[in-house]
Amino acid sequence: MNLIEALSADREMVCVVGAGGKKTTLYALANRLDRAVVTATVRIPIFDDQVANVAVTRDPVGAIRSASGSSWPLGLVPERERDDRYLGYDRETVTAIRATPGVGTVLVKADGARTRLLKAPNEREPQVPATADTVIPIASAKVVGNPLADDHVHRPERVAELTGLDIGDPIGADDVAAVLASRLGGRKRVPPTATVVPLVNMVDDDGLAATGRDIAAAVHDRADVPRVVLARMAGPELVDVV
């Protein structure tokens, strides 16, 4: 099984949520899929150097129709908000992108995490379109052992609610699994027909691989998912499928 197969990423719309490698995952997949689009339903940092072309447009369907063979993978965003980031489209527009003839896979950043290693969504997150085929909740294996605090976790108070931890407590593999598996965490707002494939990222050595397998086993105890993927997406490299 290769990375694309493991993540069920060879489908029409793939959304990434969580923390610890969403953008890296999007770009790694985009460069391994045919005629991929990278877009977002939330803000996304400037990514012009990660794809062949970025179209800043309120007419993404038109941009797809006029794209040349050298345009892929294609980034689509509606507006540059400031020097370091773009805005995202609403979910209905992303659904229209998915339905446009000629598109392979639409890869969607569906929430934000401010470069942290773990997160739980707030009441407005994630922004997953109803037409998503695969949702990939992400967490970093490197968060295990660190305290539940802003340095490592986005919205630590939300993670505390899902895990029973207090702010400042060390984060365990079971806690990461609880977030990934929860209907208020990694599986929040997942369409009923979508496949959920949790990704434990930053598995950079044997110790982190063991941690990742502990997380995966605990996810399977909590949720009916087909597999949990362990990877180094900066490579990218598939480490294990559990």
Q: In which residue ranges of the chain is pLDDT below 50?
A: none
Q: How far is residue 155 CA from its own chain's centroid?
A: 17
What pLDDT, on the 0 to 100 scale, is given for residue 82? 85
Residue owning tokens 């699994």 = 177
Residues 6+ positions from 164 with CB-CB distance below 8 Å: none
Q: Domain ranges in the chain? A: 3-35+107-241
Residues 49, 239, 138, 153, Cα dihedral to 10°: -100
How far apart are the C-alpha atoms of 36 and 12, rounded to whole Å?
9
User: Which residues, other chains included, contact 194 with Cβ-Cβ below 8 Å and sequence gap of 6+?
Assistant: 128, 132, 133, 134, 135
On the 0-12 / 13-18 / 19+ scale of CB atoms within 10 A, 4 is middle
Domain 3-35+107-241 fold is Rossmann fold (3.40.50)
pLDDT digit string (tens) for 65-95? 999 889 999 999 999 998 899 999 999 999 9
Residue 68 is predicted with a pLDDT of 87
DSSP state of 147: B
Contacts of 100 (CB under 8 A, 6+ apart): 60, 61, 64, 65
Q: Are residues 30 and 101 in contact, defined by beta-carbon separation less than 8 angstroms?
A: no
Q: Count other C-beta atoms under 10 Å from residue 124's C-beta.
A: 8
18 phi, psi to nearest 5 deg: 100, -145
Question: Would strands 134-140 and 195-196 be described as parallel, antiparallel, or unpaired?
Answer: parallel
The pLDDT value recorded for residue 8 is 98
Q: With 0-12 CB in 10 A as exposed, 13-18 as middle and 19+ as buried, what is 51?
A: buried
Instruction: Report the 10 Å Cβ neighbour count for 35.
Output: 15
